[in-house]
Amino acid sequence: MILCLETATKNCSVALVNHTGLVGALEERGEKFVHGERLHVLIQDLLRQFAVLPNQIEAVCVGKGPGSYTGLRIGVSAAKGLCYAWNIPLVSVSTLECFDFPITSNGDVVISVLDARRDEVYAQVWENVSGALIPLDIVKAVILNKDSWTNYKDRRLFVIGDCAGKVKSLVASNDRWHFLDNCYPSAKAMLQSVQEKSYNLEDVAYFEPYYLKDFVAEKSKKKWL
């Protein structure tokens, strides 16, 4: 059995999966990040709810990013701590894989997106090839404009993510493009990666989140005397 953690957005989620399917999952989402207070509580509640002991966990799978710096740090730190404590492997998957993707047909294009502030998103493009979603490029930070993804203008296309509405407002879309807004990555969606073993085996000591962009701290609005 594998414990899955996904914390790269405002959705803090944990799941238990095995070779037969999803055992169970818990998640919380709010306007503010609750991960620091709630992640370990969710893990404990999930294990207790399904009567799973630590020695039954074979590995921890964590969403490696991109996404929120704060969320990723919390999730990866928790995953590494559990792997050290339980002496089990750490594996990771891209956060942009951790969606409940829409049902598509052969040749359809899906773009998973995460908000990266202003007019920018983290994105990965997928194509349905004989029923399987195949990545067409690497994960990128994309500055949105009217020319974004126009090479797919004649294809049926789905944009899914926490900022799909922002994407719709900034790109030159058409009636063949569909935008699935307010969709968040979830630990439950790691099931396929776990079953197919398409995750990455990580070195617990040296693994770091995949931020993609350098952190830029916001200036404090407090006035100092």
Q: Give pLDDT tens digits for 138-176.
A: 999 999 999 999 999 999 999 999 999 999 999 998 999
Q: Say yes or no: 10 and 79 in one domain.
A: yes
Residue 14 to residue 180: CA distance in whole angstroms: 23
Is there a domain that residue 141 lies in? yes
Residue 172 belongs to domain spanning: 99-180
With 60 as the cut, is the pLDDT of residue 225 above it?
A: no
pLDDT at 214: 59
Cβ atoms within 10 Å, residue 150: 12
CA angle 33, 29, 66 (to 5 degrees): 65
Q: Say yes or no: 24 and 35 in one domain.
A: yes
Q: Say yes or no: 22 and 82 in one domain.
A: yes
Is there a domain that residue 11 lies in? yes
Please report which residue ranges of 56-131 form alpha helices under DSSP H. Answer: 69-86
Q: Say yes or no: 6 and 92 in one domain.
A: yes
Whether the full predicted model's pTM is greater than 0.75, yes or no, is yes
pLDDT at 31: 79
Is there a domain that residue 111 lies in? yes
Cross-strand bridge partners of residue 5: 14, 62
Q: Number of H helices and number of E strands within the chain?
A: 4, 12
Q: How far is CA 51 from CA 47, 48, 155, in A?
A: 6, 5, 47
CATH for 8: 3.30.420.40
pLDDT band of residue 220 (cuts 50, 70, 90) is very low
What is the domain count for the chain? 2
Is there a domain that residue 220 lies in? no
